[in-house]
């Protein structure tokens, strides 16, 4: 069985799904691995390094796609490349149903097995495949670093003979994996950190990292059985809005991380809230690719409103492509290992397996 991956558009995606270390693991399982020329060159993974592990270098994407049984990518390739896919081939990636649902329907008619790793169930057996956690950890860290870089004041409290500089106040919206890493990073850098989340179970985690959890009065636990946040009621949204509006008046930096898998991101930071924030404040919106948690968010732009800078990026992990590729490639390998039947040496789609059933696009 052949597993392959093609070079992606570097303007959109710098991460790769097969590293030399992981290629060696696939080959030890009995799979043939192939990649296109210069696949990992930008990360320091030369074609020679891959060849030394037994990987075949293919001249062009068309040939690779035609001859691979399984194709692993970071995202969804362009329509020209997808049109090359044949029935019963398997395509694995982060397919973002929110923006790609219509495109996927077209290619599903060809009986291609599409697996989207952002739909993995939150169960113990899937932890080693959990790309949302591995990538969100890095995203939460990088969001803090990026927002601090354009905040024009010091972050930690500094006591000098000339006077005291107060510590910056940071609010993290959404205390999932990215949010918790953002809290930890901001605390390490000396900020005073607050956090809010619709899942009450997050309170203990936030406080264990030294953050203060903002509790909405009379709130209920809005958490799905799978461990994700679910949409809040209108009453909860109103109470949350009032609490946030008051809190934001004294906040210097906001890190937005609230996402609902496969849906538009909830709009949490409204225009009137931004109008009441301090001049020089910063909002970093990690949900920009799914519409954003903040008003005025634009992907890959810094928008300034009422003296507040609002940052949004489609893919913050393009700024940490080496670290994120290493983790992503391991996640994909563990997923493929679960799909691969060693006896038949083929992909086995067992819909009684919750991991397979949840991630297969139907």
Catalytic residues: 122, 127, 130, 133, 228
Alpha carbon distance 360, 349 (integer Å): 9
Give 98: exposed, middle or buried? Use CB within 10 Å, 0-12, 13-18, 19+: middle
Q: What is the 3-state secondary structure (H, E, C) of 296-330?
A: CCCCCEEEEECCEEEEECCCHHHHCHHHHHHHHHH
Contact 16, 43 (CB under 8 A): yes
Backbone dihedral angles phi then psi of residue 247, each to the nearest 5 degrees: -65, -45
Does residue 204 sit in helix, strand or coil?
helix
253 strand-pairing partners: 170, 282
The answer to whether the beta carbons of residues 77 and 36 sit under 8 Å apart is no
Those residues whose C-beta lies under 8 Å from the C-beta of residue 102, and which sit 6 or more positions away, are: none
Sign of CA dihedral 81, 87, 89, 93: positive
Phi/psi for 28 (5° steps) reads -65, -20
CB environment 182-213: b (16+ within 10 A), e (fewer): bbbbbbebebbbbbbbbbeebbebbeebebeb
Cα dihedral sign for 198, 202, 203, 209? negative
- 76: tokens are 């969804």
Contact by Cβ (8 Å): 174, 259: yes
């Amino acid at each position: 069985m052949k597993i392959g991956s093609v070079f992606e558009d570097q303007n959109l995606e710098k991460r790769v799904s097969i590293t030399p270390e992981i290629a060696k693991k696939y080959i030890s399982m009995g799979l043939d691995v192939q990649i296109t020329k210069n696949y990992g060159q930008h990360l320091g993974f030369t074609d020679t390094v891959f060849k030394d592990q037994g990987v075949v270098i293919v001249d062009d994407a068309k040939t690779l796609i035609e001859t691979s049984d399984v194709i692993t990518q970071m995202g969804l390739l362009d329509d020209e490349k997808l049109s090359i896919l044949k029935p019963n081939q398997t395509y694995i990636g982060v397919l973002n149903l929110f923006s790609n649902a219509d495109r996927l329907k077209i290619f599903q008619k060809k009986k291609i097995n599409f697996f989207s790793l952002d739909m993995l169930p939150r169960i113990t057996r899937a932890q080693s495949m959990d790309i949302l956690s591995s990538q969100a950890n890095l995203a939460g860290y990088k969001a803090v670093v990026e927002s601090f870089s354009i905040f024009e004041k010091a972050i930690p409290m500094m006591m000098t003979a000339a006077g005291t500089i107060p510590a910056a106040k940071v609010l993290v919206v959404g205390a999932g994996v990215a949010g918790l890493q953002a809290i930890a990073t901001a605390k390490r850098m000396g900020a005073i950190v607050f956090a809010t989340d619709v899942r009450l179970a997050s309170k203990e985690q936030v406080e264990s990292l030294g953050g203060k959890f903002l509790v909405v009065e009379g709130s209920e636990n809005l958490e799905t059985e799978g461990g994700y946040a679910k949409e809040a009621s209108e009453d909860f949204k109103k109470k949350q809005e009032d609490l946030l509006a008051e809190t934001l008046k004294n906040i210097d930096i906001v890190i937005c991380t609230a996402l609902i898998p496969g849906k538009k991101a909830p709009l949490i930071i409204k225009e009137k809230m931004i109008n009441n924030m301090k001049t020089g404040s910063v909002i970093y919106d990690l949900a920009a690719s799914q519409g954003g948690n903040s008003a005025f968010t634009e992907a890959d732009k810094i928008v300034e409103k009422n003296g507040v800078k609002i940052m949004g990026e489609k893919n913050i992990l393009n700024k940490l492509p080496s670290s994120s590729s290493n983790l992503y490639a391991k996640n994909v390998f563990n997923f493929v290992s679960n799909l691969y039947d060693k006896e038949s040496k083929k992909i086995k789609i067992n819909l009684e397996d919750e991991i397979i059933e949840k991630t297969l696009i139907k």
